Structure 1
Amino acid sequence: MSDLGESDNTCRQFAKTGTCRFGNECRYQHDYVEMSVSSSAAKDKGKGKKAAKKTGARDFESFSETTPLRAFFAKYPSFAYDTSNSSSKEYYRLCEELHWDREDVDRFLAYEEFKNALVKQFNMIYGTDESSLHAWRNICEAINISPVPEGLNACRQAVRDSHVNLVDLIDSKVNGGAVERFSSEIALGEYTKRTGKYFPYGNAHAGGLLRSLLRRADNPSGRSKQKHRRK
């Protein structure tokens, strides 16, 4: 029997293992989690939907127990990874428990692996295909854009016009938390600095979809970056 879905348009192989031999060319749908992360406005509709979000988050963790972030934290057996927390917060807690200061080589090496895990987790949840309407619609739902645009270009623009933290975008599919949309780049930057939720740039594992988001985050105004080089 084929591992691909027939009646429900869902790839059974992907649902069972988290991978598919056809990758982005698969004609069936790769659903990571059937969940829409809501903002404060949607929360007012009742506790039932909040419970549904939490169930969806657990479903994502259960369908693939060896997610990249789980695999990273599993390298440290003495550390109990808490998926209800932000992944960045858990990384900092790991550093504290292992008594790594900022100059510690082990901390540096662990951070490089943590950044790889973040990028791989994004790819696992949202995909890598920049031209995938399903991927962009999934992101729109995660950041509570309503109604979700129908077309690819409209979805892209809606996401790119939003100011959200990419670590939150990943964590929301694991812990069911809402992704806050900020009013400006400045407000987002202040939040990122305050929480330490920094997302890696220039990572070799980044797919086309993530690179598209990072290009926008790095240069949201579309202006030349010659006068705004990172130090």
Structure 2
Amino acid sequence: MARKKKHRSIVQEFDDYFGTGTLEDWQRLCRDVGLDGYYGSITQCRKALRTVHVNIRDLLDAVRQGQSPQRFANTAQLAAYTVNTGRFYPRWRIKEMGPVRALMRRIS
């Protein structure tokens, strides 16, 4: 039960951070993960985010502290970090076209 509650709070925290999913929300996410440049559409933001490897829970912590999250060079490094730290985002809570989908990577 405690694990479900923890997952629910992480999901809610990301939803609160991201907002309603406007272009401005997507652009803020791009900036917060350290992407430079201008992205004039949600599609451009999604494509740009595919190149970024960050732990979603670390992203939320970094935003809360006014910092940039740690970025990894590739999926393998992100996977190793995530497994070692246990800082997973609940896969079953991913919305089909939402921002979490753009940041998710296959870990196993």
Could you tell me the TM-score, scaled by structure 1's length?
0.42
Higher helix residue share:
2
Task: Assess, with a 3 A threshold, how the Cα gap between structure 1 residues 148 and 181 changes in structure 2: closer, same or farther.
Answer: farther
What do you get for the CA RMSD once the two structures are aligned?
Answer: 2.2
Q: Aligned to 2:34, what secondary structure does the other structure show?
A: coil
Question: How many residues of Structure 1 are paired with residues of Structure 2 in the alignment?
Answer: 107
For 2:98, the aligned partner's letter is L
User: Percent of aligned positions with the same letter in both sequences?
Assistant: 26
Q: Give the match for residue 84 of structure 2.
A: 194
Using the TM superposition, give the Cα deviation of residue 210 of structure 1 relative to its aligned residue in structure 2, in angstroms.
4.1
Unaligned 5+ runs, structure 1: 1-108, 220-229
Give 1 or 2 for the bigger CA radius of gyration.
1
Distance 2:26 2:63 in 1: 15
Unaligned 5+ runs, structure 2: none
Q: Give the match for residue 101 of structure 2.
A: 212
For 1:212, the aligned partner's letter is R
Confirm or deny: 8 A CA contact 1:133 1:152 kept in the other structure: yes
Distance 1:166 1:211 in 2: 8
Q: Give the match for residue 137 of structure 1.
A: 27
Using the TM superposition, give the Cα deviation of residue 170 of structure 1 relative to its aligned residue in structure 2, in angstroms.
1.3
2:11 is the alignment partner of 1:119: yes
For 1:187, the aligned partner's letter is Q
Distance 2:77 2:89 in 1: 16
Using the TM superposition, give the Cα deviation of residue 139 of structure 1 relative to its aligned residue in structure 2, in angstroms.
0.9
Using the TM superposition, give the Cα deviation of residue 186 of structure 1 relative to its aligned residue in structure 2, in angstroms.
0.3
Distance 1:189 1:201 in 2: 14
